[in-house]
Amino acid sequence: MNILVTGATGFVGRQLLETLGSQTQATVVAAIRSNNNTLSEKVKTVTVGDLGPDNSWYEALDNIDTIIHTAARVHVMNDDSKDPLSEFRKVNVEGTLNLARQAAKTGVKRFVFLSSIKVNGESTSLNLPFTEDDLAAPIDPYGISKYETEVGLFKLADETGMEVVSIRPTLVYGPSVKANFFNMMKWLYRGLPLPFGLIKNKRSLVALDNLVDLIITCTEHPKAANQVFLVSDGEDLSTSDLLRRVAKALDKTAYLLPVNQKLLEILLSFLGKRNLAQRLCGSLQVDISKAKKVLNWVPPISVDEGLIKTTQHFIGTKN
């Protein structure tokens, strides 16, 4: 099997390359934006430029059987573009469908697309997880662009016969994780008291190793064709529990102040942090029983194993 990985220098792409190289017999090609890349010299690369509606992919697609598409304009907390949805559509929708059309023309058999749980929505009621059968309800421009891409890809699959698989991960964590998860580890490592001791929500997370394992499974398994899969670690945690378990993995103590959850939500909203309040206090759960049943897939590592790998890397960067 010959596999093209897009977004090869990204958080997920790097781990994909490493795992594919060590666990499969596939020939892997990494699609990179420019020659100024930071991948190992041992990795076969092809320069493709930015993901966009006018790119020519034909050189990169030569003799490729499967594409794992992780490249995207990523979700950012404070997007300052004048028309964020238009920018997301240009890259994530038009750019991806341009690649997919060329892939179908050149005989690519399967297109594995890294989507987002934001296609389902931003939150769930407690203990009522999202499933693949739920109606799509994206809210922000990033989620809308991922949904529109899925629609276009499955339409293309019907028209051309190229198989499509879409994977919708929850929050991904692992070595080199950035943004909010990194900040959380930094706060706990410093021993800062945090007002999150009474939060009773539940949220699904996915360790990078687990996500990569499902992606690779979806490149090979015949029953993955033309399916959507939600993915998580299979264990949901409250924000309070997550902080305690991250602190334990860091060999630190979590100093969590018992602030009333409703009061915390009101305070954060008053400070203009409504989205942060939702992520800290709201629930977002997914049901991964479809992947288990259809693909016979189970997450290879536990939450605690994933947290240990993540925190060990974080501590290593401090030394």
Residues carrying an active site annotation: 142
Judge whether 154 and 146 are in contact, CB under 8 Å: no
Alpha-carbon distances of 217 from 8, 15, 109, 129, rounded to whole Å? 18, 15, 15, 23
134, amino acid identity: D
State the DSSP H helix or E strand holding residue 217, giving kind and residue range, or none if neither: helix 208-220
Amino acid, single-letter form, for residue 200: K
299/209 Cα distance (integer angstroms): 8
CA distance 91 to 93: 6
CB 4, CB 62: distance < 8 Å: no
Contact call for residues 162 and 108 (beta carbons, < 8 A): yes
SS3 57: coil
For residue 71, give Cα distances in angstroms to 6, 9, 32, 248. Answer: 5, 9, 10, 34
**Alpha helix (H) residue ranges in 24-137:** 84-88, 96-105
Residues 6 or more apart whose CB falls under 8 angstroms from that of 248 comprise: 254
